[in-house]
Amino acid sequence: MTEQRWPDGPLRREDPEVASLLAEERARQRRTLQLIASENFASPAVLEATGSVLTNKYAEGYPGRRYYGGNAVVDRVEEVARARARRLFGADWANVQPHSGSNANAAALLALAKPGDTVLALRLDQGGHLTHGSPVNFSGRLFRFVHYGLTPAGDGGERIDLDAVADLARRERPAVVIAGATAYPRVIDPAPFAAIAEEVGARFLFDAAHVAGLVVGGIHPNPVPYADVVTFTTHKTLRGPRGGGVVGRAGLGEAIDRAVFPGLQGGPLEHVVAAKAVAFGEALRPDFSGYAAQVVANARALAGALAEEGLRLVSGGTDTHLVLVDLRSFDPDLDGRVAQTALERAGIVANRNAIPADPRPPFVTSGLRFGSAAETTAGMGEEEMGAIGGLIARALRAREDGRALDALAGEVGQLCEKFPPPGAGRG
């Protein structure tokens, strides 16, 4: 219904300019491969809730404690979302209001530490996120971040250096230890982080932004029993609307609630909260674990195909939805920026990404990051992922040949036609 209504609905009549832009974007999503590791295709039900009348409602506060009237229904919507989030993660409490993963992290840091406190996190150039202490982000400006990194490259290398985490924790006595990453293709085991945090009397924040869907699908260990606070995004492997959330064990819920509102945000986006509830409901269904397993199997198939084409895999493979490749093994003159542009012309959408010890600056990089979550939602399997690995290599080899790239885009388009994403994405 949703997808039928949108192309010819009120938007087309009232605002053809914006309507035609949305149609263009639908066509782009339909004809090209979505391999951005932080993206997915939300279901028609999620899209419908996101576009619902709840966008009209102000609801500062929490269920039963709002600052405006008229929230009886909204309260029930948010309660459904919170209850489903608790069930999904096996958590004692949940806050579903953060507008994004960054806001979830900001709230968690505000609740767990004071400005100026020391926080331990993964280096940004080795897979950490902006909110884990970038000097241009609130995190790096408000807190004193100390970073751990990965072990050196080599067999079994490029893994989180847990000895360094322990050494740094003992030396720096941080208020908070953060685990979690934006470009790390391996499982992050929460247990050793919890032990280190406990030893030095730090709080443990697990940022599950990327892997939330793999956690609730039962593929990755659930950090909730180990961490004081777990933050996540709802739009990546969890396949919901754009947004964030926080869950945890008993004890810190009230502090997190206060940090989100009034600490950080005003009125929650209740239409997005409703869509989060829908996505959590989808993830609670038994078939979601099959999806999560297929996401990882597909990433492994893509990784294998890329390795066969001569692209070095950071850490030698993947346990996640994400593949990080080092372009230097393929062609030392090829940088991430040129590679990303060539792929896009061939209809393959991915992002350049710094690799550990990258000699090139962050805006250029020597790596590419791919993700399997979206095309798995569209129904692709390992066979297609293997073929995509070959298409990527052909595009990179033909990067200076515009006509060859355009021809490849045609091939990519034919593949995409066979795997339309659910709902309006490619409608």
Q: Would you name the residues annotated as active-site residues?
A: 58, 60, 207, 233, 236, 242
Site string for ligand PLP, 31-60 (x = CB under 6 A): -------x----------------------
CB atoms within 10 A of CB 415: 18
Binder of ligand PLP out of 44, 140, 180, 268 (CB under 6 A)? 180
**Judged by CB under 6 A, does residue 213 bind ligand PLP?**
no
Among residues 30, 82, 129, 147, the one that binds ligand PLP under rule CB under 6 A: 129
Taking the complex as a whole, how short is the minimal distance between the CB of residue 43 and ligand PLP, in angstroms? 19
Task: Answer yes or no whether residue 209 interacts with ligand PLP by CB under 6 A.
Answer: yes
Binding string to ligand PLP for residues 81 to 100, with x set by CB under 6 A, is what? -------------------x
Question: Is 127 or 423 the residue whose CB approaches ligand PLP more closely?
Answer: 127
- Long-range pairs for 245-248: beta carbons < 8 A, 24 or more residues apart: 245/85, 245/94, 245/95, 245/96, 245/98, 245/104, 245/276, 246/94, 246/95, 246/98, 246/104, 246/107, 246/108, 247/85, 247/86, 247/89, 247/91, 247/93, 247/94, 247/95, 248/91, 248/92, 248/93, 248/224
CB of 221 to ligand PLP, least distance (A): 16
* Assigned token pair, 80: 């459904």
Distance of closest approach, residue 17 Cβ to ligand PLP, in angstroms? 27
Q: What share of the chain is helix, strand, coil (3-state, %, to 5)?
A: 50, 15, 35
Least separation in angstroms between CB 244 and ligand PLP = 6
Whichever of 209 and 311 has its CB closer to ligand PLP, that residue is 209
131 binds ligand PLP (CB under 6 A): yes
Integer Cα distance of 180 and 68 in angstroms:
37
Please count the residues of the chain.
427
Residues 54, 177, 178, 181: which binds ligand PLP (CB under 6 A)? 181
Cis geometry, peptide bond prior to residue 262 (ω within 30 degrees of 0): yes
- The residues in 233-252 that bind ligand PLP, with binding defined as CB under 6 A, are 233, 244
Q: Any contact of residue 102 with ligand PLP (CB under 6 A)? A: yes
Using rule CB under 6 A, residue 126 touches ligand PLP: no
Residue 207 as a binder of ligand PLP (CB under 6 A): the answer is yes
Secondary structure class of 120 (helix, strand, coil)? strand
Minimum distance of ligand PLP from residue 180's CB (angstroms): 5
Q: How far is the CB of 182 from ligand PLP (least distance, A)?
A: 3
CB-based burial, 57-85: b 16+ in 10 Å, e otherwise: bbbbbbbeebeeeebeebbebbebbbebb
Q: Are strands 229-233 and 244-248 parallel, antiparallel or unpaired?
A: antiparallel
| DSSP code at position 372 | -
Which residues are paired to 233 by β-bridges? 244
Please give the angle made by the CA atoms of 236, 242 and 246, to the nearest 5 degrees: 80
In whole angstroms, give the CA distance from residue 285 to residue 242: 20
Element (H, E) at 276: helix 270-284
Q: What angle do CA 93, 99, 100 make, to 5 degrees?
A: 90
| Min CB(27)–ligand PLP separation in Å | 25
Of residues 61 and 101, the one with the C-beta less far from ligand PLP: 101
Residue 112 exposed, middle or buried by CB count within 10 Å (0-12, 13-18, 19+): buried
List the beta bridge partners of residue 230: 206, 247
Residue number with CB closer to ligand PLP (134 or 329)? 134
426 residue type, one letter: R
Q: Count of residues binding ligand PLP (CB under 6 A)?
A: 15
Stretch of 145-153, 176-184, 379-387, 392-400 lying at the interface with ligand PLP (CB under 6 A): 176-184
The CA radius of gyration of the chain, in Å to the nearest whole number, is 22
Regarding 174 and contact with ligand PLP (CB under 6 A), the answer is no
Give the nearer residue to ligand PLP in terms of CB position, either 43 or 182: 182
Minimum CB distance to ligand PLP, residue 181 (Å):
6
Sole window of 69-77, 203-211, 264-272, 327-335 interacting with ligand PLP (rule: CB under 6 A): 203-211
Footprint on this chain of ligand PLP (rule: CB under 6 A): 38, 100-102, 105, 129, 131, 180-182, 207, 209-210, 233, 244
